[in-house]
Structure 1
Amino acid sequence: MKLKKLLLSLLFLVFCSSGFAQSSKELTRKKEALQRDIELAQKNLNRTTNGKKLTLSQINAIKAQVRLMQEKISTINSEMKNLDNQITENTGKVHNLQTRLSDLKKEYAGMIRFAQRNQNSYDKMMFIFAAKDFNQAYKRIKYLQQFGQYRKKQASYIQGTEKDLNNKIVVLDKDLKNKNSLLKEQVNEKGKLDKKKNEQAVVLNQLSKQEKQYKQDISKKKQQQAAIDKDIRAAIQREIALAKKKADDEDRERQRIAAAKAKAENKPVPVTSSPKAQTNSEALRATPEAAKLSAAFENNRGSLPSPVANGYITSHFGTYMVDQASGRNEGVTYQTGEGAAVRAVFNGKVSTIFDKFGKYYVIIKHGEYFTVYENLKSVSVSKGQDVSTKQTIGVAGTTDGVPEVGFQIHRGSAPQNPESWIAR
């Protein structure tokens, strides 16, 4: 029974340790990814600080850095919390193993004393021959054999417990060193964050001095984006209209075939009716292929790859404020690296490519869904081409010298928040 309890305890310790290690690895990967984004934001910020004129990209880069730094500190705090839990758990395990080891040694010492008192062969023979009958004598012989085997097992348990205890002490020491390292990293990151916030305050102070010029730039960008969004909506509406026309044509063709068949068979010709009015969703999902693709796209909600392999979001979906100027984003905006590849987030067909204000815009159809890729320097696909998930469709363009890509998702003509579709 004691052996069974010991084995169950050890299995539980192994299970807990593996669960912690997995969580710790995930936090470490997240922290490393955040650090890469912080460094990328600094590179983009360096591109804009050479000019005297304050730009929206510069403000977005600083804000992104502050947000990423805060998220990194939060991740470090989660790592420390995990380590605190692990240290507490391992400390308890060490105490339990120490108690268990002490009990095993006391029990083993008692067996040794008993063996010493009965080590004389004559005493053992007398113990056997003192039995009342043959069965009892046989049981006493088996008892003496089992006692010797059990003593050997106890010695093995003691060695195993000592080994486990030493291993847990090593792990505990490692956890304490890791916590100390994380504390230093946390202090360092908080110092960087304070410095970045001071830099942000300087920029915002500069913004107030350039407020008039800055608001003019914002107004110009809003007008340009409104024109781009209008073209995007028009392109999607054309696709919807084509889908409805195709569905109507197919409905009429079915009626024509049915009428011709009835006439050939001398049966009453069915009354021809107007094509059934279809919703946008019904028209875009009219074919089995389109319905299957739409369902597959929906099933990947929350796990789609981002349109750039490396980058961070600087403008979120919906209405946003920059100082006193407001705007609206029908999708999200990524700042990325120079010459970054822009990739399709899911299988589909390129439905539209157009250029405006010196940049390219690509719309890919996924059944009743559309994904839009904005601000491309160049395009490597053509209209009507089938594309696959993560296939490169172009190269990121720049805004005020910073590589940026806009990304939108539409269900029919209704814009969706991409952040609820893209994997974090």
Structure 2
Amino acid sequence: MKLKTALLLVIAIFLCSTAFAQSSKELKRKKEALQREIELAQRNLNKTTSGKKLTLGQINAIKAQIRLRQEKIATINSEMKNLDQQIHENTNKVQNLKGRLAELKKEYAAMIRFAQRNRNSYDKMMFIFAASDFNQAYKRIKYLQQFGQYRKKQAAYIQGTEKQLSNQIVVLDKNLKSKGSLLQEEVSEKSKLDKNKSEQTAVLSKLSKQEKQFKQDIQKKRQQQAAIDRQIQAAIAREIAAARKKAEEEARERERIAAAKAKAENKAAPTSSESKPKTNSEALRSTPEAAKLSDAFEANRGSLPSPVATGYITGRFGAYKVDQATAMRNGVVFQTSEGAAVRAVFNGTVSTVFQQYGKYYVVIIHGEYFTVYEGLQSVSVSKGQKVTTKQTIGTAGTADGVPELGFQIHRGSVAQNPESWLAR
């Protein structure tokens, strides 16, 4: 029973250690990814600060840096929490091994004292011959043999336990050093965060001096975005209308064939059971291929790849404040690296490619879903072309000197929050 309990304890400790290791690796990967995004944000910020004129790109880059650093500090804290758990576990292991080693040494000392008292062959022979019968004498011989073997095993146990203890102390030292490094990293990141906040304060102070020009720039961007959104909605509406028309024509054709068949067989014309698509979703899913593609797209919610390989979100979906007024954003905005490739996030067909304000816009249809890629510098696809997941469709353009991409997802004509669809 004791052996079973000990075995379960060892398994539990192993599983906990494995879980900690996996979690630590995930946190380390996340921290490294955040650091890459912070460095990218700094490069973009350096581009915008070279000019005297304050831009929205500059403000967004500083905000992104602050948010990313806060996320990195939170990740470091999670790493330290994990390390604290590991340190606690390893400290307990060291204490248990020390206790076990003391017990083994105590037992071994007792055996040595016994062996010293019965160290010569005469004593051993007298111990055997003092037996009351042959059976007892045989058992005493076996006892002396087993006692010698047990002593050797105990010596091996002591050596093994000392080695375990030494290894565990090394692991514990590494844990403590790692925690010290993380504490230094956290202090450094908090210092950089304070610097970013100071930069933000300076930018806001600068904003008050350029407020009139800045308001004009924002108003112009809002008007342009509204015009672009109207074109995107019009493109989606055309696709829905075309899908509805096709579905209705197919329904009428099926009715015509059924009526002709009934007439040939001298039967009453069948009552029409074909229903025209009532919703946009039904119209867009009217073919087996479209329905299958829609289901596949939906099944990948939360795991779609990012439309850019490197980048971070500076503009979030939904309502946001601009110049004390509330505006709506139908997607998200990524700041990315210069000349970044823009990728299709799923298999589909290019529905629309149009140009506006010197930039390109691509709409891809995935059954009843649409993905929209905004503000491209160049495109490498055309209307009607089939595309696959992560296929390059163009390169990101710039806004205020910063590489940027707008990205939208629509279910029919209804805009979705892309962050809930994309993998982190």
Where 2:54 maps in the other structure, the secondary structure is coil
Q: Write the distance in 2 (CA, Å) between the matches of 1:76 and 1:236.
A: 44
User: Is the Cα–Cα contact under 8 Å of residues 252 and 275 in structure 1 kept in the other structure?
Assistant: no
- Would the alpha carbon gap of residues 13 and 166 (structure 1) be closer, same or farther in structure 2, given more than 3 Å must change? farther
Which sits farther off after the overlay, 77-86 or 53-62? 77-86
Q: What CA deviation, in whole Å up to 9, does each residue of 1:355-411 have, x standing for no partner?
A: 111111111111111111111011111211221111111100001111100011111
- Aligned ranges for residues 183-222 of structure 1 at < 5 Å? 183-222=183-222
What does residue 394 of structure 1 align with? 394
Q: Which runs of 5+ in 1 are unaligned?
A: none
The number of equivalent residue pairs is 424
- Would the alpha carbon gap of residues 4 and 366 (structure 1) be closer, same or farther in structure 2, given more than 3 Å must change? same
What does residue 283 of structure 1 align with? 283
What does residue 269 of structure 2 align with? 269
What's the CA shift for 1:266? 2.5
- Aligned ranges for residues 124-203 of structure 1 at < 5 Å? 124-131=124-131, 135-203=135-203
Which sits farther off after the overlay, 139-148 or 75-84? 139-148
What does residue 52 of structure 1 align with? 52
- Identical pairs, percent: 76
Paired residue type of 1:361: Y
Paired residue type of 1:264: A
What does residue 302 of structure 2 align with? 302
- Would the alpha carbon gap of residues 225 and 117 (structure 1) be closer, same or farther in structure 2, given more than 3 Å must change? same
Where 1:154 maps in the other structure, the secondary structure is helix
What's the CA shift for 1:339? 0.1
What does residue 358 of structure 1 align with? 358
Where 1:351 maps in the other structure, the secondary structure is strand
What does residue 404 of structure 1 align with? 404
- Would the alpha carbon gap of residues 122 and 343 (structure 1) be closer, same or farther in structure 2, given more than 3 Å must change? same
What does residue 326 of structure 2 align with? 326
User: Is the Cα–Cα contact under 8 Å of residues 331 and 406 in structure 1 kept in the other structure?
Assistant: yes
User: Is the Cα–Cα contact under 8 Å of residues 101 and 162 in structure 1 kept in the other structure?
Assistant: yes
- Would the alpha carbon gap of residues 59 and 137 (structure 1) be closer, same or farther in structure 2, given more than 3 Å must change? same
User: Is the Cα–Cα contact under 8 Å of residues 215 and 325 in structure 1 kept in the other structure?
Assistant: no
Q: What CA deviation, in whole Å up to 9, does each residue of 1:268-323 have, x standing for no partner?
A: 22245774342111121222222222111111111111110000000100011145
- Would the alpha carbon gap of residues 91 and 18 (structure 1) be closer, same or farther in structure 2, given more than 3 Å must change? same
Q: Which runs of 5+ in 2 are unaligned?
A: none
Q: Report the aligned-residue RMSD.
A: 2.1
Q: What CA deviation, in whole Å up to 9, does each residue of 1:330-351 have, x standing for no partner?
A: 0100000000000011111111
- Aligned ranges for residues 225-244 of structure 1 at < 5 Å? 225-244=225-244
Which sits farther off after the overlay, 13-22 or 66-75? 13-22
User: Is the Cα–Cα contact under 8 Å of residues 352 and 364 in structure 1 kept in the other structure?
Assistant: yes
Q: Write the distance in 1 (CA, Å) between the matches of 2:163 and 2:274.
A: 84
What does residue 418 of structure 2 align with? 418
Where 2:338 maps in the other structure, the secondary structure is coil
Where 2:365 maps in the other structure, the secondary structure is strand
- Would the alpha carbon gap of residues 270 and 27 (structure 1) be closer, same or farther in structure 2, given more than 3 Å must change? same
Paired residue type of 1:69: R
What does residue 30 of structure 1 align with? 30
Where 1:332 maps in the other structure, the secondary structure is strand
Is 1:369 aligned with 2:373? no
TM-score with structure 2 length normalisation? Answer: 0.94
- Would the alpha carbon gap of residues 206 and 144 (structure 1) be closer, same or farther in structure 2, given more than 3 Å must change? same
Which sits farther off after the overlay, 179-188 or 399-408? 179-188
User: Is the Cα–Cα contact under 8 Å of residues 255 and 274 in structure 2 kept in the other structure?
Assistant: no
Q: Write the distance in 2 (CA, Å) between the matches of 1:266 and 1:82.
A: 80
- Would the alpha carbon gap of residues 12 and 270 (structure 1) be closer, same or farther in structure 2, given more than 3 Å must change? closer
- Would the alpha carbon gap of residues 123 and 8 (structure 1) be closer, same or farther in structure 2, given more than 3 Å must change? farther
What does residue 63 of structure 2 align with? 63
Where 1:307 maps in the other structure, the secondary structure is coil
What's the CA shift for 1:131? 4.7
